[in-house]
Amino acid sequence: TPPVEKHEYQAEVNRLMDLIVHSLYSNKEVFLRELVSNASDALDKLRYLSVTDPDLIKDGAGLDIRIQTDKENGIITITDTGIGMTRQELVDSLGTIASSGTAKFLKALKESQEAGVDSNLIGQFGVGFYSAFLVSDKVAVSTKSPKSDKQYVWEGEAESSSYTIREETDPEKLLPRGTRLTLYLKREDKGFAHPEKIQKLVKNYSQFVSFPIYTWQEKGYTKEVEVDEPVEAKEGDDETKTEVKKKTKTVVEKYWDWELTNETQPIWLRNPREVSTEEYNEFYKKTFNEYMDPLASSHFTTEGEVEFRSILYVPATKKEDITDRKTKNIRLYVKRVFISDDFDGELFPRYLSFVRGVVDSNDLPLNVSREILQESRIVRIMRKRLVRKAFDMILGISCSENRDDYERFWENYGKFLKLGCMEDKENHKRIAPLLRFFSSQSNEELISLDEYVENMKPEQKDIYYIAADSLSSAKHAPFLEKLNEKEYEVLFLVDPMDEVSVTNLNSYKDKRFVDISKEDLDLGDKNEEKEKEIKQEYSQTCDWIKKRLGEKVARVDISNRLSSSPCVLVAAKFGWSANMERLMRAQSM
Ligand code: ADP
Ligand code: MG
Ligand 1 and 420: CB distance under 6 A:
no
Distance CA 64, CA 477 (A): 73
Using alpha carbons, select from 209, 106, 94, 206 the residue that is nearest to residue 152. 94
For 224, other C-beta atoms within 10 Å of its C-beta total 8
311 in Cβ contact with 302 (< 8 Å): no
Q: How many residues does the chain have?
A: 589
- Would you list the DSSP string of 72-136? TTTEEEEEE-S----HHHHHHHHSS---HHHHHHHHHHHHHHHTT----HHHHHTTGGGGGGGTE
Sequence ranges of the binding site for ATP: 34, 38, 80, 85, 100-101, 124-129, 179, 370
- Would you list the DSSP string of 426-455? GGHHHHGGG--BEETTSTT--B-HHHHHHT
42 or 569, greater pLDDT: 42
311 in Cβ contact with 270 (< 8 Å): no
Q: Residue 326: what pLDDT?
A: 55
Distance CA 156, CA 151 (A): 17
pLDDT digits (tens, 9 = 90+) for 350-400: 899 999 999 999 888 877 788 888 889 999 999 999 999 999 999 999 998
pLDDT digits (tens, 9 = 90+) for 470-487: 999 899 888 888 889 889
Ligand 1 and 82: CB distance under 6 A:
yes
Q: Residue 125: what pLDDT?
A: 64
The answer to whether residue 542 scores a pLDDT higher than 60 is yes
DSSP 4: P
Q: At a CB cut-off of 8 Å and minimum separation 6, what does 37 contact? A: 206, 209, 337, 366
Q: What is the mean pLDDT of residues 42-51?
A: 82
Ligand having the closest approach to the CA of 84? 1
Distance CA 217, CA 203 (A): 14
Lowest mean pLDDT among 371-375, 410-414, 529-533: 529-533
Q: Using DSSP, state whether 310 is helix, strand or coil.
A: strand
Distance CA 186, CA 466 (A): 69
Distance CA 12, CA 35 (A): 20
Using alpha carbons, select from 302, 312, 314 the residue that is nearest to residue 332. 312
Distance CA 213, CA 36 (A): 9
Q: Whose CA is nearest to atom 16 of ligand 1?
A: 93
Ligand 1 and 97: CB distance under 6 A:
no
Dihedral angle of Cα 452, 453, 454, 459, to the nearest 10 degrees: 120
For 580, other C-beta atoms within 10 Å of its C-beta total 17
319 or 200, greater pLDDT: 200
Of all residues in the chain, the percent with pLDDT exceeding 90 is 50
157 in Cβ contact with 172 (< 8 Å): no
Q: What is the mean pLDDT of residues 155-167?
A: 95
Sequence ranges of the binding site: 34, 38, 80, 85, 100-101, 124-129, 179, 370
Report the chain's mean pLDDT, rounded to a whole number.
Answer: 87
Lowest mean pLDDT among 122-131, 273-282, 422-431: 122-131
Determine the distance separating the centroid of ligand 2 and the alpha carbon of 127, expressed in angstroms: 7
184 or 580, greater pLDDT: 184
How many helical (H) and strand (E) elements, i.e. helices and strands, does the chain have?
A: 19, 19
- Would you list the DSSP string of 223-247? EEEEEEEEEPPPTTS-TT--EEEEE
The answer to whether residue 589 scores a pLDDT higher than 50 is no
192 in Cβ contact with 135 (< 8 Å): yes
Name, of 11-20, 216-225, 513-522, the range with top average pLDDT. 216-225
- Ligand 1, pocket-test mutation among 13, 20, 36, 38, most atoms within 8 A of CB: 38
Ligand 1 and 179: CB distance under 6 A:
yes
Distance CA 491, CA 504 (A): 16
70 in Cβ contact with 216 (< 8 Å): no
324 in Cβ contact with 415 (< 8 Å): no
Distance CA 202, CA 68 (A): 12
DSSP 343: -
Instruction: Give exposure, 63-97, as e/b (b: 16+ Cβ within 10 Å).
Output: bbbbbbbbbeebbbbbbbbbbbbbbebbbebbbeb
Q: What is the mean pLDDT of residues 391-413?
A: 93
Q: Whose CA is nearest to atom 21 of ligand 1?
A: 38
First to last CA, the chain: 84
Ligand having the closest approach to the CA of 127? 1
pLDDT digits (tens, 9 = 90+) for 87-126: 999 999 999 887 666 777 777 777 777 777 666 677 656 6
The answer to whether residue 76 scores a pLDDT higher than 50 is yes
Of all residues in the chain, the percent with pLDDT exceeding 70 is 89
Ligand having the closest approach to the CA of 44? 1
Q: Whose CA is nearest to atom 3 of ligand 1?
A: 99
Distance CA 547, CA 566 (A): 18
Q: Whose CA is nearest to atom 10 of ligand 1?
A: 93
The answer to whether residue 339 scores a pLDDT higher than 70 is yes
Dihedral angle of Cα 176, 177, 179, 184, to the nearest 10 degrees: 10
Q: What is the mean pLDDT of residues 261-285?
A: 88
The answer to whether residue 197 scores a pLDDT higher than 50 is yes
Determine the distance separating the centroid of ligand 1 and the alpha carbon of 84, expressed in angstroms: 9
pLDDT digits (tens, 9 = 90+) for 284-303: 886 776 778 999 999 999 98
Name, of 13-17, 329-333, 391-395, the range with top average pLDDT. 391-395
The answer to whether residue 456 scores a pLDDT higher than 70 is yes
- CA neighbours closer than 13 Å in the CB half-sphere of residue 188: 7
Among the atoms of ligand 1, which is closest to the Cα of residue 367?
Answer: 3
The answer to whether residue 325 scores a pLDDT higher than 60 is no
416 in Cβ contact with 383 (< 8 Å): no
Distance of CA 361 to the CA centre of its chain: 13
